[in-house]
Amino acid sequence: MINAADVVVIGGGVVGCSTAYNLAKLGAGKVALLEKSYLASGATGRCGAGMRMQWGSETNCLLSRESVKMLSNLAERLDVDVDIEFTQNGYLLLAYNKKMEDQFKKNLIVQKSLGIPARWVSPEESKEIAPILSTKGLIGATYCAEDGHCNPFKVTEAYAQAARKLNVEIYTETEVQGIVTKNGKIVAVRTSKGDIQTDTVVNAAGGYAKTVGRMAGIDLPIFPERHEILVTEPVEPLLGPMVMSFFHNLYCQQSPHGSFIMGIGHPNEPEGYDIRSSWQFLCDMAERVVEILPPLAGLNVVRQWAGLYDMCPDRTPILGNSPQLSRFFTAAGFSGHGFMISPITGQLMAEMVLGKPTAFPIHMFDAGRFERGELFVEPSVV
Amino acid sequence: MSDDNTIICRCEDITLREIREQIAQGKHTSEEIKRACRTGMGPCQGRTCGPLIASEIAKATGKSIADIPLAKVRPSTGPIKMAALLGGEKHD
């Protein structure tokens, strides 16, 4: 293992790999990435694999629009031979009451102003877009044909391969155990395989971002929360878009492989690192998804698992330098939508670390916003 | 086994050659190979391919097969129809 680096990135998920690649590309010098398990072993590899541009805040719309653009030709951009399984079959967001309709229509105004091709569709049109959809109780939906799907393992792999080509050192099975500071500055990162001298750290540890923050004496308001998910046997194409219902608190998409991937958010899920699967989820999920997509009753579930959302109180990530410790950057707290904005996030983090102007305004993601009471709330999260 | 075209994961049609390629690229755990090429993600959940992949990793790395963990076993034990999960105790 190297014993000194210009920047140490902690976390081998998609955000860590994207950040490490962009740092090397922008000339940050020697970059090391540390992952305690294998790449994409955490939230990245456990997520629902969707990408959508239909957000309620201008910033999230901008970041996701840019990320979709980058994902559409990622392998060429990174000059690697990895098929990331990018498909654009759309997202259909279902509205079941007036409050949702109003929120969605408000969101559409923001989306349209930014050139995101989303529109309001009637229950009948929804049924044309997704023939297996039950329109019972539905008052309408918003649809964006350019939202879609990507394979998170492959996107991470693409960034990791591109980073290695630029001489980024990636250490898997290497756990960060401490961050050594002196006179308010970082001096080294302590790992299970030795120390790396550095003055700059990027904390991209997802659900463990708070733990990593504490190693540097910083209290980040990010907390881990279990989210469960399951996958069915692969079948012939039945459903194009990702179907999302904030009313049922669920999402469901047929992947290019043919299997259906689906999950629900549990409102009473306690904070914690538990990622065990539960039978309650299995029953709950089946019941709710069959209500919306009845033909799925005939499908076999083959596997269920869980992962951690890295939650922020306002469901918006922290992207930036710490107000307490110089050159301790955080890119975490994505609250369930980190994968889909990871391409642009990596670029923005690299720009910030190198003191360059960022491609998009991201001051609202500043870590100090909680103390100032300037929360940045995204209205459209499952 | 020497035939590279031998199917190791029957659910997902993954050959010995593909697995050896993953190992050669530095993926030395069952979990990483699973995520790279879908071995063990099908209906049988790795019951056939799991031990075969572990033995390939052991051969390539010179480790004992006892030191190569299989991929994590996830529920359910076998495939289960969504319809079988509906109703349940609420409607008894």
Tens digits of residue pLDDT in A128-176: 999 999 999 999 999 999 999 999 999 999 999 999 999 999 999 999 9
Percent of chain A clearing pLDDT 90 (strictly above): 93
Please tell me the class of the B7-91 domain: mainly alpha
The closest alpha carbon to A141, from A130, A124, A126, belongs to A126
Residues of A with CB under 8 A from a CB of B: 38-41, 45, 153, 157, 231-233, 257, 277, 279, 282-283, 286-287, 289-290, 296-305
Question: Of the ranges A167-176, B1-10, B33-42, which one carries the lowest mean pLDDT score?
Answer: B1-10
Mean pLDDT of chain A, nearest integer: 96
Q: Phi and psi at residue A356, in whole multiples of 5°?
A: -90, 160
d(CA A341, CA A115): 17
Higher pLDDT: A380 or A19? It is A19
Chain B residues inside the 8 Å CB shell of A300: 43, 79-82
Interchain CB distance below 8 Å, B85 and A39: no
Tens digit of pLDDT for each residue in A56-97?
999 999 999 999 999 999 999 999 999 999 999 999 999 999
pLDDT of residue B91 exceeding 80: no
Q: What is the pTM of this model?
A: 0.96
The span from the CA of A327 to the CA of A329, in Å, is 6
**Least CB-CB distance to A38: which of B32, B45, B87?**
B32
What residues contact A238, with CB distance under 8 A and at least 6 apart? A132, A254, A295
Q: Answer for the pair A8, A32: CB distance below 8 angstroms, yes or no.
A: yes
Say how many residues make up chain B.
92
Q: Does B73 touch chain A (CB under 8 A)?
A: no
* CA neighbor of A63 nearest in space, from A338, A354, A351: A338
Residue A353's pLDDT band (boundaries 50, 70, 90)? Answer: very high
pLDDT at A11 over 70: yes
Residue type at position A180: V
Q: For chain B, which residues make up each domain, given as ranges?
A: 7-91
* Amino acid in position A146: E
Amino acid identity of residue A378, one-letter, is E
pLDDT digits (tens, 9 = 90+) for A235-294: 999 999 999 999 999 999 999 999 999 999 988 899 999 999 999 999 999 999 999 999
Residue A164 φ/ψ, nearest 5 degrees: -60, -35
Instruction: Report pLDDT for B88.
Output: 64
A303 and B45 within 8 Å at the Cβ level: the answer is yes
The fraction of chain B above a pLDDT of 90, given in percent, is: 89
Residues of chain A within CATH 3.30.9.10 domain(s) are 87-146+223-311
Q: How far apart are CA A180 and CA A112, in angstroms?
A: 47
Higher pLDDT, A376 or A162: A162
Closest to A300 (Cβ–Cβ): which among B43, B75, B86? B43
| Spatial distance between the Cα atoms of A163 and A151, rounded to a whole number of angstroms | 18
Q: How confident is the model at residue A363 (pLDDT cuts 50, 70, 90)?
A: confident
Q: CA A66 to CA A77: how far, in whole Å?
A: 14
Q: At what angle do helices A152-165 and B30-37 cross, to 10 degrees?
A: 110
Return the CATH fold of A7-47+153-222+314-372. FAD/NAD(P)-binding domain (3.50.50)
Identify the CA nearest to A337 among candidates A21, A10, A33, A51: A51
Contacts of A39 in chain B (CB under 8 A): 32
Give me the CATH topology for the region A87-146+223-311: D-Amino Acid Oxidase; Chain A, domain 2 (3.30.9)
Q: Confirm or reject contact between B66 and chain A (CB < 8 A).
A: no
Among A53, A85, A42, A16, smallest CA distance to A258 is for A85
Q: In this predicted structure, what is the pLDDT of residue A19?
A: 98
Q: In this predicted structure, what is the pLDDT of residue A48?
A: 96
pLDDT > 80? residue A382: no
Chain A CB contacts of B25 below 8 Å: none
Query: Which positions ≥6 away from A75 have C-beta within 8 Å?
Result: A81, A82, A83, A84, A158
CB nearest B82 (choices: A41, A157, A301): A301
- E-state strands within chain A: 7-10, 31-34, 50-51, 91-95, 118-121, 140-144, 148-149, 169-171, 176-182, 185-191, 194-197, 201-203, 223-232, 242-245, 250-254, 260-264, 300-311, 318-321, 328-332
pLDDT for the residue numbered B87: 74
Model confidence at A364, pLDDT cuts 50, 70, 90, reads confident
Between strands A201-203 and A328-332, the pairing is: parallel
Q: Which residue in the set B29, B36, B79 is minimally distant from A153, CB to CB?
A: B36
Inter-chain CB pairs, A–B, below 8 Å: 71
Compare all CA atoms of chain B with the CA of A39 and give the residue at the minimum distance.
Answer: B32
pLDDT digits (tens, 9 = 90+) for B44-53: 999 999 999 9
Q: Where in chain A is the domain with CATH 3.50.50.60?
A: 7-47+153-222+314-372
pLDDT of A200-228, one tens digit each? 999 999 999 999 999 999 999 999 999 99
Are residues A302 and B29, on separate chains, in Cβ contact within 8 Å?
no
Which residues of B fall within a CB distance of 8 Å from A282? 75-76, 85
Cα–Cα distance measured from residue A282 to residue A301, given in angstroms and rounded to the nearest whole number: 9
Q: State the average pLDDT over residues B19-36.
A: 96
Coil, strand or helix at A83: coil
